[in-house]
Structure 1
Amino acid sequence: MTASSSHIVVIGSGLAGYGVLRELRKLAPDARLTLVTQDDGHFYSKPALSTALAKGKVADTLITTPAEKMTAQLKLDLRAGRLVEAIDREDKAVLTTGGPIFYDKLVLALGADPVRPPIDGDAVHLAMAVNNLDDYRTFREKLPDGARVLIMGGGLVGTEFANDLSATGYQPVVVDMLSHPLAQLVPPGVGNMIRDALAAKGVEWHLGRKVVALRKIDGGIRAELDNGVTIDAPAVLSAVGLRPHVALARDAGLEVSHGIRVDQTGRTSDPDIYAIGDCAEYPQGLAAYVTPIMSAARAIAPSALGTPTEIRFPPLSVQVKTTAYPVVLLPAPFGVDGEWKEEANDEKGLKYLFRDADGIVRGYVFTRDYCQERMDMDRTLSEQMMGTAA
């Protein structure tokens, strides 16, 4: 069987799914490509969800390319509105609510699911997580103008939503167990500046605290914190984190850990199945965000077509979408011994570098004017990585 005659099925219509489909179509103009999604298949930027309010966007205007156009451009067989119930590896079939779909190669682009923390009360189910376009549509519909909004979680998504809501006349109240915003990504000096900048825009912070109960009240929800404080709000946004979607892969007998385990080509423990994006656990670990998805897509497409190609990740730096206090960062590698050191603290902003035990720079955080140094730093670190690999 030639690559052009094989049938490749992709599950998931996010950036990862469409990213690998684009690369497949470039390499194999005649290959049979099928996209299975429980959504409608429209293409949109998921990172744009946390900045949509300030840009005056509603769910429909966030769609950059309608499903019909994506289908035509990529010559896809789109199976929208289909829930995948199981993967039959023996018969090489995806079992969906619309019937089985047989494959030669399968790509899992399943994304991640919102973490639901254990909380008491009769309003827990009313806490909204915004993880896709439909979630955002529901969130906007249930959000009264200028309302107080309780945000559970002060990580990347929670902080970006606090920035977006405060910039558009809402009153965000952020509760987080850690001592400062973005605590798992930035040192306290940076987190405190983000906190203060957003507080000046009207964001109320309850740090070092957690929500223990959500109860229904007239006009909304009452949150009870672990110190006895109560917060009343008509809407609650849950942004306590995401967990890679591994259930489908685990049930199919694929090797999973934090995510679906893949090798350096994106291949799972089944040689005919690949995984990409938020659901995948690469040899380097989990790698969410846009940059690693596009890098992985460029390698997984030729690999699935019969030419094993290694994924080469550039420095995976991130722009935090906080207009009140601009930040770019490269997170410190997980499990690497080292420390953050302040390199600059002046009218231009803050600059921190993370050095490992050998004194090698492995991460950075730049704020305000120092954000302009991101590209140069990424280039330097990329050259350093290539030198190490050589």
Structure 2
Amino acid sequence: MGKTAPPSIVVVGSGLAGFGVLRELRRLSPDAKLTMVTLENGHFYSKPALSTALAKGNTSETLVTSSAEKMIAQLKLDARIGREAESIDRAGKALCTTGGPIPYDRLILAMGAAAYRPAIEGDAAHRAISVNQLDHYAYFREQLPDQARVLIMGSGLVGTEFANDLITNHYQVVVVDILTLPLAQLVPPAVGESVRDALASEGVEWHLDRKVVAINYVGDRAGYVATLDDGSNIEADLVLSAVGLRPNVALAQEAGIDIGIGIKVNQYGQTSDPDVYAIGDCAEYQHGISAYVTPIMAAARGIAQSALGTPTEIRFPPLAVQVKTTLLPVNLLPPARNCVGEWHSVESDVDGDKHLFIDDRGFVRGYVLTRQKTEQRVEMDTKVGELA
């Protein structure tokens, strides 16, 4: 009998998820034919570093940790850079791109998520900048005047980290959010209040429980004027939109693959088409979206083995998050979205605060640690992980 040909696996995307699964595939199979399709330039960088790059003196160039050329050589890739994935021919098992069809044995979608654009009136609404990839950050830096007054829409993880980064680097910062506290969907109110107050003490101006309804351009002197839903106006030199991301599902949806919030996958990372997988920000796992580094790397390990013919369940560790706010360091583990329980404050002193999410059976399912208490993260991860 003849030797079985090495598998042909196509990965769409060159972010952490795309390169993460490509690394695992190459480690497990030196002979597999690996093709990467991406609209970006193919350089490898850390997306979480975008919201703290100013403080660390990074530019879009210095954020690159490995060039596309290095990644291609290292992983022995057939790289289709600057190519768009247009459709999936599931019957013919081919990815149709702007450079022509690419046959596959397995297809892995690592297409990330796109910035949500809220409906806002005004002649400059389209000029609000979202920073979700390297070229976005390059444009943001080009448009950012020295000591500028920056309006940030959104006080979630990204918005709050950008506010911290900008205010500690001598920019003026105004934050607007429809919620009443920063990080409101991740932490208990007391922690949101502490984050708000810590950044306010350095000059961040908060407009919470408010919404931007219009952005207009008023000339070089003042730049932009944003109108809020209470009729007040905010002048700014630049507007940064950090109101959330939406998984990129169109390619899968048009191919008839099941989607929810993201592309639905099973415990192996497979979509409703067993030869198509999804990973990262575009994937909806059985517990929901996991758009952070740790779950992406865990998924890459499982999916690579499954795609190469050894079905392997993805084992997610506790999905802890480090909020990179140097003015008030925070580590947290949010409870699962279907977990019933409530937050309890268990420690509060000069070293910081500790909050635990206790479920209806009395088990710890989440935590928030601030200041020096963030050092308890590993201990808390172990405690929560024992219940997984």
Alignment TM-score > 0.5, same fold: yes
Change in Cα spacing, 1:141 to 1:35, as seen in structure 2 (3 Å) is same
Equivalence for 2:110: 109
Cα distance in 2 for residues equivalent to 1:384 and 1:187: 22
- The match for 1:57 is 58
Distance in 1 separating the partners of 2:382 and 2:360: 22
Where 1:240 maps in the other structure, the secondary structure is coil
Return closer, same or farther for 1:209/1:3 CA change in 2, 3 Å cut-off. Answer: farther
| Structure 2 unaligned regions, length at least 5 | none
1:250 matches 2:253: yes
Match of 1:353 in 2: 356
Matched with 1:313 is 316
CA RMSD of aligned residues (A): 1.0
The letter of the residue matching 1:331 is: P
Give the letter aligned to residue 311 of structure 2: P
Distance of 2:347 and 2:5 partners within structure 1 = 54
Letter in 2 for 1:77: D
2:221 matches 1:221: no
Asked if the contact 1:353–1:363 (Cα under 8 Å) also holds between the matched residues in 2, the reply is: yes
1:338 matched to 2:348? The reply is: no
Q: What does 1:290-305 correspond to in 2, within 5 Å?
A: 290-305=293-308
Is contact 2:163–2:175 with CA below 8 Å preserved after alignment? yes
Query: Any conservation in 2 of the 1:92–1:102 contact (CA below 8 Å)?
Result: yes
Alignment partner of 1:379 is 2:382: yes
Please list the CA deviations of residues 86-141 of structure 1 after superposition, one character each: whole Å capped at 9, or x if unmatched: 11111111111111111111000010111111111111110000000000000000
1:6-64 Cα offsets, whole Å, 9 max, x none, are: 11000000000000000000100010000000001000000000000011111011000
For 2:91 and 2:126, the matched residues in 1 are separated by 38
Any conservation in 2 of the 1:4–1:32 contact (CA below 8 Å)?
A: no
Q: Distance in 2 between matches of 1:2 and 1:19?
A: 29
For the residues of structure 2 that align with 1:128 and 1:55, how far apart are their CA atoms? 21
Judged with a 3 Å threshold, the aligned counterparts in structure 2 of structure 1 residues 4 and 128 are, in CA distance, closer, same or farther, namely farther
**Contact 1:3–1:305 (Cα < 8 Å) also in 2:** no
Amino acid at match of 2:154: G
User: 2:287 touches 2:336 (CA, 8 Å); kept in 1?
Assistant: no
> 2:9 corresponds to which letter in structure 1?
I
Flag structure 1 segments of 5+ consecutive residues without an equivalent. Answer: 386-390
For the residue of structure 2 that corresponds to 1:60, the secondary structure is: coil
**Partner of residue 237 from structure 2, selected from 202, 212, 234:** 234
Structure 1 364/3 Cα, relative in aligned 2: closer, same or farther at 3 Å? farther
Moved over 2 A (4+): 1-4
DSSP-derived class of the 2:61 partner: helix
With 374-383 and 292-301 compared, the bigger mean Cα shift is at: 374-383
Does the CA-based 8 Å contact 2:181-2:208 persist in structure 1?
yes
Q: CA deviation at 1:2?
A: 7.5
Q: CA deviation at 1:384?
A: 2.2
CA 78–3 in structure 1, closer or farther in 2 if over 3 Å, else same: farther
Aligned to 1:179: 180
Counterpart residue number, 1:273:
276
1:324 maps onto 2:346 in alignment: no
- Aligned letter for 1:139? F
Q: Distance in 1 between matches of 2:293 and 2:7?
A: 28
Relative distance call for 1:48 and 1:8 in structure 2 (3 A) is same
**Separation (CA, whole Å) in 1 of partners of 2:195 and 2:27:** 42
Q: Report the Cα offset of residue 4 of structure 1.
A: 6.0
2:155 maps to which residue?
A: 154
Q: Is the contact made by 1:5 and 1:32 (CA closer than 8 Å) also made in structure 2?
A: yes
After superposition, what is the alpha-carbon deviation per residue over 1:348-373, rounded to whole angstroms, capped at 9, x for unaligned?
11110001111111110000011000
Q: Which amino acid aligns with 2:349?
A: D
User: Please, what TM-score do these two structures have when normalized by structure 2?
Assistant: 0.98
| Closer, same or farther: CA 139–4 of 1 in aligned 2, 3 Å | farther
Cα gap change, 1:192 to 1:305, in 2 (>3 Å): same
Give the secondary structure class of the aligned counterpart of 1:323: coil
State yes or no: 1:367 paired with 2:332: no
Contact kept? 1:3, 1:28, Cα under 8 Å: no
- The CA distance in 2 between the partners of 1:377 and 1:345, in whole Å, is 16
Amino acid at match of 1:260: I
Count residues in correspondence.
385
Counterpart of 2:239, as a letter, is V
Aligned-partner Cα distance in 2 for 1:366–1:294: 24
Deviations 1:121-167 (A, max 9, x none): 11111000000000000000000011000000000000000000011
Residue 91 of structure 1 corresponds to 92
Q: Distance in 1 between matches of 2:53 and 2:300?
A: 26
CA–CA distance in 2 between the matches of 1:90 and 1:356? 46
**8 Å CA contact 1:3, 1:31 repeated in 2:** no
The match for 1:139 is: 140
1:270-320 deviations in Å (ceiling 9; x for gaps): 011000001001111111100000000000001000000000101000000
Does the 8 Å contact 2:121/2:214 carry over to 1? yes
Partners of 1:2 and 1:238 in 2: CA distance = 54
User: Residue type matched to 1:192 in 2?
Assistant: E
Return the offset for 1:332. Answer: 2.0
Q: Matches of 1:335 and 1:145 in 2, distance apart?
A: 45
| Structure-1 residue corresponding to 2:77 | 76
Q: Which amino acid aligns with 2:74?
A: Q
Q: What is the alpha-carbon distance in structure 1 between the residues aligned to residue 77 and residue 5 of structure 2?
A: 14
